[in-house]
Amino acid sequence: MARTDKKTIGPGQTNKLGWRDLIENSGESHVNDLPKGKALAVIGHFSDLHVCDAESPSRIEYLDRFSDPDNKWRDVVGYIGTYRAQEILTTQVVASMVHAMNELKTGPITNAPIDAVVVTGDMTDNAQKNEAQWYISAMNGGKVEPVSGDRKKSEWVGSHNVDYDICYWHPDGAPVGKELDRPIAKFGFPIIKGLVEKARSIFVSPGLDVPWFATYGNHDQLLQGTVAPDDDLNQLTIGNQRIVGLPKDSERPEVIMPAVAEVGPVSYPHTKDSPRVTITSDQMRAFNTPGTFADAHIAAGGNPAGHGFTKENVENNTAYWCKDLENIRLISMDTVNPHGGWQGSIDEKQLNWIREKLLEAKDKYCVLLSHHPSPTLINDFAPSGKPRRVIKDELLQELYQHKNLIAWIAGHVHRHASGLHTRPDGSTFLEFTTASHIDWPQQSRVIEIVKEETGIAIASTVIDHAGHLDWQDKELDYLTMAGISRALSLNDWQRRDDFNPVLARHGNKEDRNVVWRVTDPF
Which pLDDT does position 269 carry in this prediction?
Answer: 86
For residues 484 and 475, the answer to whether their CB atoms sit within 8 Å is no
pLDDT score, position 498 = 81
Domains of the chain: 7-518 (3.60.21.10)
Q: How much is the pLDDT for 370?
A: 98
Per DSSP, the three-state class of 45 is: strand
Helix, strand or coil for residue 474?
coil
Q: Quick check: 336 and 371 in contact, CB under 8 A?
A: yes
d(CA 184, CA 181): 6
Please report, in tens digits, the pLDDT of each residue of the chain (522 residues total).
699 999 999 999 999 999 999 999 999 999 999 999 999 999 999 999 999 999 999 999 999 999 999 999 999 999 999 999 999 999 999 999 999 999 999 999 999 999 999 999 999 999 999 999 999 999 999 999 999 999 999 999 999 999 999 999 999 999 999 999 999 999 999 999 999 999 999 999 999 999 999 999 999 999 999 999 999 999 999 999 999 999 887 888 888 898 889 999 888 888 888 999 999 999 999 999 999 999 999 999 999 999 999 999 999 999 999 999 988 999 999 999 999 999 999 999 999 999 999 999 989 999 999 999 999 999 999 999 999 999 999 999 999 999 999 999 999 999 999 999 999 999 999 999 999 999 999 999 999 999 999 999 999 999 999 999 999 989 999 999 999 999 999 999 999 988 789 999 999 999 999 999 999 999
For residues 396 and 5, what is the distance between their CA atoms, to the nearest angstrom?
Answer: 33
The 3-class SS string of 11-35 reads EEEECCCCCEEEEEEECCCCECCCC
* Cβ proximity of 461 and 5 under 8 Å: yes
| Measured distance CA(296)–CA(288) in Å, rounded | 9
**Nearest by Cα to 214 from 446, 465, 411, 416:** 411
Cβ atoms 483, 468 nearer than 8 A: yes
Please give the sequence-ordered ranges of beta strands (E in DSSP) within 146-240, or none if there are none: 203-205, 212-215
Handedness of CA 422, 423, 428, 433 (dihedral sign): negative
Q: What is the CB neighbour count within 10 angstroms for residue 340?
A: 26
| Cis peptide bond prior to 290, omega within 30° of 0 | no
Taken in order 20, 23, 25, 30, the sign of the CA dihedral is positive
pLDDT value of residue 295: 98
Distance CA 260, CA 257 (A): 5
- Distance CA(418)–CA(434), nearest Å, equals 9
The SS3 of residue 361 is coil
**Count of Cβ atoms closer than 10 Å to residue 448 Cβ:** 26
Listed residue (224, 241, 324, 228) closest to 278, CA to CA = 241
Predicted structure pTM score: 0.97
Q: How far apart (Å, rounded) are the C-alpha atoms in residues 199 and 82?
A: 19
Strands (E), 370-455: 389-390, 405-410, 417-422, 428-433, 443-451
Output DSSP code: residue 447.
E
pLDDT at 377: 98
> 399-416 burial by CB neighbour count: b if 16+ within 10 A, else e?
bbebbbbbbbbbbbbbbb
Tell me the DSSP string of 105-161. -B-TTT-PBP-EEEEES--BSS-BHHHHHHHHHHHH-EEE----S-SSS--STTSSS
The residues with which 203 forms a beta bridge, in sequence order, are 144
Q: What angle do CA 513, 516, 520 make, to 5 degrees?
A: 150
- Rounded CA-CA distance 335/352 in Å is 14
CA distance 20 to 5: 23
Can you tell me the distance from the alpha carbon of 242 to that of 283, in angstroms, rounded to the nearest whole number?
14
Interatomic CA distance for residues 147 and 312, integer angstroms: 31
- Contact by Cβ (8 Å): 365, 417: no
Beta-bridged to residue 418, according to DSSP, are 432
55 with 155: CB under 8 angstroms? yes
Distance CA 336, CA 92 (A): 26
- The average confidence (pLDDT) of the chain is 96
Judged by DSSP in three states, 332 sits in strand
